Amino acid sequence: MSRPPRAREIVLDAFEQILSNEGARAATMDAVARQAGVSKGGLLYHFASKEALESAMVDRLLKLVADDLAELESAEEGSVTYFLRTSAAEDDNLDRAMIAVARLAQSGSEPARDAIRTVRLQWEDALRPHTRDALALDLVMLLADGLSFNSTMGGDAQLSSVPHGEALDTLIERVVGLTTW
Amino acid sequence: MSRPPRAREIVLDAFEQILSNEGARAATMDAVARQAGVSKGGLLYHFASKEALESAMVDRLLKLVADDLAELESAEEGSVTYFLRTSAAEDDNLDRAMIAVARLAQSGSEPARDAIRTVRLQWEDALRPHTRDALALDLVMLLADGLSFNSTMGGDAQLSSVPHGEALDTLIERVVGLTTW
DNA sequence: GTCTATACTAAGATAGAC
DNA sequence: GTCTATCTTAGTATAGAC
């Protein structure tokens, strides 16, 4: 509690970064150790196996989502607007963790897939009181899934046709108008 | 042209199936050969490398999308309805190929990622004439991304909260009403 | 608490028999 | 055209020095 072990976080950051930038295939123990600036032995002191590393990544996501759910409830702009806006982001801690865990999930990690499903349900429960009806909630969730999916597919060289900036703001505004009171 | 090589397709089916059901990590040459009922040597006669196998999978997707774009144009129910309905499907050839290539993309294959982006643009271009404006088109595309994303995350043990059946039909109907003439 | 050295395993690929 | 056998490399993990 007093002071979190720092090296663990650095290693986890490295794992997250490689997963995001290069995909699960490239996220080997070796690559993670190199990126984190520690030796393979050093890595394995902190995380005894790859599974342990993945599990820690999932835990990080769950923690960040718990924080986000609190944010969401108190968001000045409204919960749904906040949710959709942040679903499109790529550069905060939560989204990086989300992308990393999504990559693990698609590569075959069951715990990662469970986590993705769990956090989706948590967000859905949190937004239910703020949306008109079940249909409106479905629309909001699917839209967020779409935005999130495009974040994971984007990567560096994106320049895709997915709305961003002002177009995205307008879209969110419209959808919020349709789904909330 | 006269008769397509049958064994190739069987191997490709096996690859697709393992990618969909177990993820990219499990889709090894060995596993594909076993599933296809051929030996490793036999597999490598048809596909000289894993890269060749992945490339063939991408080609299959591009081919199926080309067919789908033709279907979409002539769909009785309307292009947008057709598009959204099929984006939620999981059990036709196109969707299986889409899920397989999405898994490859997330695991780190650049060609797979390019393919996903390409087909998204193709669909977007095809739907543009059928939607009200840029914002409506964005909404339709993101909704389809969300539906597609949930297909890839679902897998066998789904039972998730993603709309299906009648709820999905209603949602699609509403969105089509909002985005088309 | 972090490193080097090394063992073990699995994956991708080749050679050549049939 | 498909198989068996084998090689190489890369990835995970262990042991033990520092």
| B133 Cβ contact list (under 8 Å, min separation 6) | none
Contact A106 B170 (CB under 8 A): no
How far apart CA B106 and CA B93 sit, in angstroms, is 20
A70 inside domain: yes
For residue A133, the tally of other CB atoms under 10 A from its CB is 9
- Number of structural domains in chain B: 1
Q: Which nucleotides of C are covered by protein (CB under 7 A)?
A: 1-6, 10-16
> What SS3 state is found at B9?
helix
pLDDT tens for residues A25-42? 999 999 999 999 999 999
Minimal CA–CA distance to B21: which of B121, B158, B144? B158
> DSSP states of B97-134 as a string?
HHHHHHHHHHHT-HHHHHHHHHHHHHHHHHHGGGSSSH
Q: Which nucleotide is nearest to A27 (CA to C1')?
A: D11
The spacing between the Cα labelled CA in A41 and the C1' in D14, in angstroms, equals: 10
A59 inside domain: yes
Looking at beta carbons, which residues of chain A come within 8 Å of B107?
23-25, 103, 106-107
Q: What is the pLDDT of residue B158?
A: 57
pLDDT above 70: residue A2: no
A166 inside domain: yes
Q: What is the pLDDT of residue B3?
A: 61
User: What H or E segment, with its residue span, contains residue B11?
Assistant: helix B6-22
Question: Whole domain around residue A91: which residue ranges?
Answer: 6-179
> DSSP states of A111-164 as a string?
HHHHHHHHHHHHHHHHHGGGSSSHHHHHHHHHHHHHHHHHHHHH-TT---SS--
CATH number for the domain that contains residue B163 = 1.10.357.10
B131 inside domain: yes
B1 inside domain: no
Q: Which of B107, B134, B171 sits opposite A139 (nearest CB)?
A: B171
pLDDT tens for residues A73-123? 999 999 999 999 999 998 899 999 999 999 999 999 999 999 999 999 999
B77 inside domain: yes
CA atoms within 13 A on the CB side of B55: 7
Contact A106 B23 (CB under 8 A): yes
Minimal CA–CA distance to B123: which of B70, B178, B78, B171? B70
How far apart CA A140 and CA B180 sit, in angstroms, is 19
B117 inside domain: yes
Q: Does residue A40 approach strand D to less than 7 Å at its CB? A: yes
In the predicted model, residues of chain B with pLDDT beneath 70 are 1-5, 155-160
State the sign of the Cα–Cα–Cα–Cα dihedral B69, B85, A106, A139.
positive
Mean pLDDT, residues A124-141 taken together = 98
For residue B34, what are its two tokens?
A: 């076993």
Contact B24 A22 (CB under 8 A): no
For residue B115, what are its two tokens?
A: 């393919």
Q: What's the whole-model pTM score? A: 0.96
Among A149, A150, A176, the strongest candidate for a mutation testing the B interface, having the largest count of B CBs within 10 A, is A149
pLDDT tens for residues B49-59? 999 999 999 99
pLDDT tens for residues A63-76? 999 999 999 999 99
